[in-house]
Amino acid sequence: MKITDIKATTVTVPLEAPLRHANGCHWGRFVRTIVEVETDEGITGLGEMGGGGESAESVFRAMKTYLVGRDPSRIEEMRFLIANPSGSLYNNRTQILAALEFACLDILGQKWNVPVYEILGGKLQDKVPFASYLFFRYPNPKDGSGEVRTIEQLVEHAKDLKQRYGFTSHKLKGGVFAPEYELECYRAVARELDGDSFRFDPNAVWSTEQAIWFGQQIEDIKNDYLEDPVFGLNGMRRTREKVRMPLATNTVVVGFEQLAANVLNTAVDVILLDTTFWGGIRQCVKAAGVCETFQIGVAVHSSGELGIQLATMLHLGAVIPNLSFAADAHYHQLVDDIIEGGKFKYENGAIKVPTTPGLGIKLNREKLQKYSELYKRLGSYPYDQDPLRKGWTPTIPNNRWADPQDARTPEIAF
Ligand SMILES: [Mg+2]
């Protein structure tokens, strides 16, 4: 079998409401690039990458020079061909490689008539548990719904998500407001949903002292972990000395070099594996093996997925024996998807691993067209800018927090 073509389409899919984070905001939608790898046997594989636009599409087009005419089963060779570690200074294509790896695994599963998890060693579980991902949210600019700013709104939002999807673990994305206010928010959710477990992620904008203070204030809560309270392995190591709970990261251990550094001089207890940031599902399986060897915790990170990427997270979650926590997904914040059959369904806080050949999902062409047109109309958005605080950026450690009394609605086209 040979690869004959690679196509990339940028789409934008609306969220229930704009999601606020430490560096800015998701402006009411996700922008993703959908990749299709075609073969001479009529089998097409699907991939997905965050972000998009002409530059992302042209990078995938440029990969045709490397990959057309090659056998899609030679995935390890593809890694060296387009993301050679010795050439990463000039050609760091980790995320490109990931999207193409997803597509090649999807092709091979269809060709061999097996789900991707069979290629990866076979599934150990039929469904993957997920955490509710709680964000502070601006109101939906169209109808004013969905705001999460006050403690009451946050608690209501958490209860609603638990009721709708059955989550028993809850992650609060912080780093928006001052840590004292976010501590009240986190404690209120933990109090209301007593018996569940919780995790907090301020996206590394605190000082080490703030991180230690916050960590010590929540030691009585049933925490899964405290995620990226500060930036850098050394700050994490200092925090870890004084806080009695696991620390997790998706920012400072995102490759094997950093994983090795963390093994040699431990700063982080739980590695959040991301099928995109690590360069594919197989790279994550390899990393999970290293973590198993050194008894480091593993969970699945979410970089803001549509159904294709979610399928990669499900296949990953199905095959790693040491997945010790519920996975993260932004997925429940989306209002739609580009796959056939509509969005994946949550049952009791978990999603079933697809069992049909390949990744187990098919593109809904109508939806692809619809959200590609929406992208053309709306374009990209600056992820690291807050629509109500234009020109603002957090210094690290941050001392210019948003104001929880500010009830304005941003004017965003979406
Ligand atoms: Mg994180």
Ranking 88-92, 114-118, 246-250, 404-408 by mean pLDDT, the lowest is 88-92
Count of all residues that appear for the chain in the document = 414
- 173 C-alpha vs ligand 1 centroid, how far in Å? 8
pLDDT at residue 331, rounded to an integer: 98
pLDDT at residue 91, rounded to an integer: 86
- 303 C-alpha vs ligand 1 centroid, how far in Å? 9
Pick one of 3.90.180.10, 3.30.390.10, 3.40.640.10, 3.40.930.10 as the CATH number of 3-114+366-378: 3.30.390.10
* pLDDT, tens digit, 9 for 90 and up, residues 274-328: 999 999 999 999 999 999 999 999 999 999 999 999 999 999 999 999 999 999 9
Read off the tokens for 114: 């097996």
Residue type (1 letter), 239: T
394 DSSP assignment: -
The active-site residue, picked from 123, 157, 170, 173, is 173
pLDDT at residue 178, rounded to an integer: 98
pLDDT at residue 176, rounded to an integer: 98
- 201 C-alpha vs ligand 1 centroid, how far in Å? 6
* pLDDT, tens digit, 9 for 90 and up, residues 78-93: 999 999 999 888 889 9
- The residue assigned the tokens 């719904």 is 145
Read off the tokens for 249: 């990261």
- 132 C-alpha vs ligand 1 centroid, how far in Å? 14
Residue spans in the chain of domains classed CATH 3.30.390.10: 3-114+366-378
**Integer-rounded Cα radius of gyration of the chain:** 21
- 206 C-alpha vs ligand 1 centroid, how far in Å? 13
Q: What class does CATH assign to 119-358?
A: alpha beta
Question: How many Cβ atoms from other residues are within 10 Å of residue 289's Cβ?
Answer: 13
Rounded CA-CA distance 106/292 in Å is: 26
Mean pLDDT of 174-197: 98
- Is 301 catalytic? The answer is yes
Q: Is the confidence at residue 414, as pLDDT, over 80? A: no
- Is 286 catalytic? The answer is no
Average pLDDT, the chain: 97
- 294 C-alpha vs ligand 1 centroid, how far in Å? 22
pLDDT at residue 88, rounded to an integer: 85
pLDDT at residue 413, rounded to an integer: 84
Residue spans in the chain of domains classed CATH 3.20.20.120: 119-358
pLDDT at residue 90, rounded to an integer: 85
* pLDDT, tens digit, 9 for 90 and up, residues 21-47: 999 999 999 999 999 999 999 999 999
- 204 C-alpha vs ligand 1 centroid, how far in Å? 8
Torsion 146-148-153-159 (CA) sign:
positive
pLDDT at residue 188, rounded to an integer: 98
**pLDDT above 70 as % of the chain:** 100
* pLDDT, tens digit, 9 for 90 and up, residues 98-133: 999 999 999 999 999 999 999 999 999 999 999 999
The active-site residue, picked from 170, 171, 301, 330, is 301
